[in-house]
Amino acid sequence: MTEHSFLLQQKIGDQFSGVYYVSNVSIKKTKSQSEYTEFTLKDRSGTVFAKFWSVDPSITKGSYVSAAINVDDYQGKPSFIIRNIAINSKEIDESLYVPVAENLEELKSSFESHLKHLSEDGDKNSSPVREILEIVLSPAVKAEFLKVPSSLGVFYGKVGGALENTMNVYQICLTLGKVYGLSEDENLVLRTAALLSLVPSIESYKMNNCAAEITKTGLLLGNRTLGILRTFEAWKTYRDSDSVKKASDKEWFLRILHAMNSAEATDSIPATKEAILLNMAKQLDSRTVEMLDYIGREECFENGFTTYDCLNKRKYYVSSKA
């Protein structure tokens, strides 16, 4: 097998070829109304938009393709232009195509640090936060959580995606807690729920052909229900142990459970401060990263606007240049 040419290692002026995963196909038109195809190609290094000045209906989302590509200069940015493309019929090494969070080791270290500080702060508040974290994030569960994605989209659809998503939301929650004056207890609930809310991604998603796909279990239950089940199981384990300190321990579990549940809610309004802020933090992050990722990969057409983003149904203003 020839050496793989990773997409994001290519620079302006390069010509390369290889086998790549097609995560999206979009048929567009030039100003002269000629049809062309914009492929979203993916490998372990990341994702790029690549234009093919024709249409091949046999190539669909989820295909592996053999492609010969030029990297042209478009206003100082690399523009990937496909010379030839066809369905790949040869055996592939899937490890070359599953994307991985770039700073995965740094994310793991940050996650462990926040867990440690949360446990210590929980002890100071005489709360069962340390026990909740240890029960929900057992060594086996934590090992799985550090690898799974948390999205079908580009930004978090990678190994370590759930962890990256969690760290971004956690940082937003830290800021929101200060801005809106949460008490120590409310902040502790918010931070704990933020770190645990995406643990159900373990059951909800799997990596398949370098894309994050919902499993049958995840499709049936979803993160919201799986999170409830996980937290109730943690409470039963804690209740039956010798760790229970006081009657209010159950209230901590319920408050954390409510915040985690509300973070996934689309049909109701969260009723506690920490639930509201976690819900808002997750919405802000999920919407923002999709848009920023799109802008980062687009090439800035038509008077400073990107081409139309079908996912978010909008164009993005990225330049004042005509």
The whole-number average pLDDT for the span 151-176 is 88
Q: Of residues 153 and 73, which shows the higher confidence score?
A: 73
* Pair (258, 282) in one structural domain: yes
* Pair (88, 118) in one structural domain: no
What are the tens digits of pLDDT across the range 86-134?
Answer: 999 888 887 788 778 888 999 999 999 999 999 999 999 889 999 889 9
What are the tens digits of pLDDT across the range 37-65?
Answer: 999 998 888 889 999 999 999 999 888 99
b/e string for 275-298 if b means 16 or more Cβ within 10 A? bbbbbbbbeebbeebbbebbeeeb
Exposure of 219 by Cβ count < 10 A (0-12 exposed, 13-18 middle, 19+ buried)? exposed
The whole-number average pLDDT for the span 4-28 is 92
| Position 322 in a domain | no
* Pair (80, 193) in one structural domain: no
- The last residue of a domain, from among 38, 69, 96: 96
- Residue range(s) defining the domain that contains residue 61: 7-96
**Cα gap 286→314, rounded to integer Å:** 16
Residue 291 φ/ψ region, left for φ over 0, alpha for ψ in the -120 to 50 degree band, beta for the rest = alpha
| Position 311 in a domain | no
On whether the CB atoms of residues 67 and 17 are closer than 8 A, the answer is: yes
| Average pLDDT taken over every residue of the chain | 84
* Pair (114, 211) in one structural domain: yes
* Pair (24, 85) in one structural domain: yes
Q: Of residues 175 and 246, which shows the higher confidence score?
A: 175
* Cα first-last separation, the chain: 46
Exposure of 68 by Cβ count < 10 A (0-12 exposed, 13-18 middle, 19+ buried)? middle
| Position 316 in a domain | no
* Pair (34, 70) in one structural domain: yes
* Pair (110, 81) in one structural domain: no
C-alpha closest to that of 127 among 34, 24, 250, 43: 250
**What CATH number should be reported for the domain holding residue 46?**
2.40.50.140
* Pair (54, 181) in one structural domain: no
Q: How many CA atoms lie within 13 A of 266 on its CB side?
A: 4
On whether the CB atoms of residues 59 and 85 are closer than 8 A, the answer is: yes
| Position 271 in a domain | yes
| Position 298 in a domain | no
What are the tens digits of pLDDT across the range 253-305?
Answer: 888 988 887 776 666 667 899 999 999 999 899 888 877 777 766 655 555 56
| Position 168 in a domain | yes
| Position 315 in a domain | no
* Pair (18, 140) in one structural domain: no
- The last residue of a domain, from among 96, 113, 136: 96
What's the pTM?
0.73
Structural domains of the chain, count = 2
* Pair (77, 207) in one structural domain: no
* Pair (54, 112) in one structural domain: no
Q: Residue 170: pLDDT above 60?
A: yes
- The last residue of a domain, from among 41, 76, 96: 96
On whether the CB atoms of residues 23 and 41 are closer than 8 A, the answer is: yes
| Position 317 in a domain | no
Residue 167: per-residue pLDDT = 96
Residue with structure tokens 């807690």?
A: 177
* Pair (223, 125) in one structural domain: yes
